[in-house]
Structure 1
Amino acid sequence: MRNFVIAATVLLLAACGTQTKKGEIFAPDGQAIKGYDPVAFFREGKPVAGSGDWTYTWKDAQWRFASKENLDSFKTNPEHYAPQYGGWCAYGTSQGHKAPTTTDTWTIVDGKLYFNYDQKVKATWMTDQPGYIEKADSVWVDLKDKE
């Protein structure tokens, strides 16, 4: 029985890992940034939940917005507001792999939005953002479409 539980756990973890690492945009359940408004990070300086009333599909993910104004801004220039590396962990990308993120780890650097895996990883990321960004930028082109 113990071996069965271990094997089932390993299979479940492998399946979850595969599901979260598909696609250019980190979009659990199809929602980019877990349903938070990407424009609000720039305009309000904090995470703001998007609404089902204002949505937009871009790069095979649904993006939600807190207002029609934010939706319109995103539609006009999604590349400006969308997080770098599709919302995958910026530090993880710099290390050559995709990792999921949490919304409370956001930072804006030189007018670009970044997320990290958790607060501990964000602390590492903060020690050399320019260096990690340079590394991540160099590998993202090849990494973005991989699982």
Structure 2
Amino acid sequence: MNRFPLKIAGIAIALTIASSAWAGDQYVDPTGFAVSGYDVVAYFDLDQNAVGQSQPAAIPGNKNITATHNGATFAFSTEANKAAFEANPEKYLPQYDGHCAYGVAKGGKVPGNPNLWRILDGKLYLNITQNVVGFWEEDIPGNLELSENNWVSIEADPASDRAIPQFESSAPVN
């Protein structure tokens, strides 16, 4: 949030403005889609595995079912998922603008792999590699605290321009 002093009739008023335009840039890989074209709403319908186990594969979106948010195009597998996202994008957006949660805990922005995910307290988190998932899961509460504290100072930095290592997107389809 930014505060701008505003004088009206000799009275100073603090005006607080909040806007998604001031959010950091969403990570977009060479597919041209946020979250590599995977359906962010569909994650919330997948059965989540226990810590230490791989998650189910993400659901590819359809390049003909899209919505734009924070300057990035998101793809969805169904019109219903697109409508759910448009009604409440904040509920479905990956944390840290789609960057790796552990990378943010370490103080930087690196890509998030859409197949290395976890939902915690109703929020979607991505990580960059399977090894990083292991580090993240060693201390999820501690890493979340670090991520949240670091995000305040790096959110406005440009999005990562790195590719996701050892990842080939199968999305969007159709």
Please give the TM-score of this superposition, normalised by the length of structure 2. Answer: 0.69
Structure 1 vs Structure 2 CA RMSD: 1.2
CA separation in 2, counterparts of 1:117 and 1:101? 5
Pairing partner for 1:118 from 110, 125, 129:
129
Query: 1:24 touches 1:85 (CA, 8 Å); kept in 2?
Result: no
SS of corresponding position for 2:66: strand
What do residues 69-98 of structure 1 show as CA deviations (whole Å, max 9, x unaligned)?
Answer: 100100111111010001100000011100
Residue ranges of structure 2 left out of the alignment (5+ in a row): 1-23, 48-55, 159-174
Which ranges of 4 or more aligned residues in structure 1 deviate by more than 4 Å? none
Decide which structure has the larger Cα Rg and report it.
2
Structure (1 or 2) with the greater strand fraction:
2
The higher-RCO structure (CA 8 Å, 6+ apart) is: 2
Name 1:82's counterpart in structure 2.
Answer: 93
SS of corresponding position for 1:70: helix
CA separation in 2, counterparts of 1:122 and 1:84? 15
Residue ranges of structure 1 left out of the alignment (5+ in a row): 1-22
1:39 corresponds to 2:50: no
CA separation in 2, counterparts of 1:44 and 1:117? 20
Name 1:28's counterpart in structure 2.
Answer: 29
In the alignment of these two chains, the number of paired residues is: 125
Name 1:137's counterpart in structure 2.
Answer: 148
Name 2:111's counterpart in structure 1.
Answer: 100
- Percent identical: 38
SS of corresponding position for 1:52: strand
CA separation in 1, counterparts of 2:62 and 2:46? 16
What do residues 73-125 of structure 1 show as CA deviations (whole Å, max 9, x unaligned)?
Answer: 00111111010001100000011100112222111111110000100000110
Pairing partner for 2:76 from 62, 65, 68:
65
Q: Which amino acid aligns with 2:36?
A: K
Q: Which amino acid aligns with 2:99?
A: W
1:52, CA displacement in angstroms?
1.5
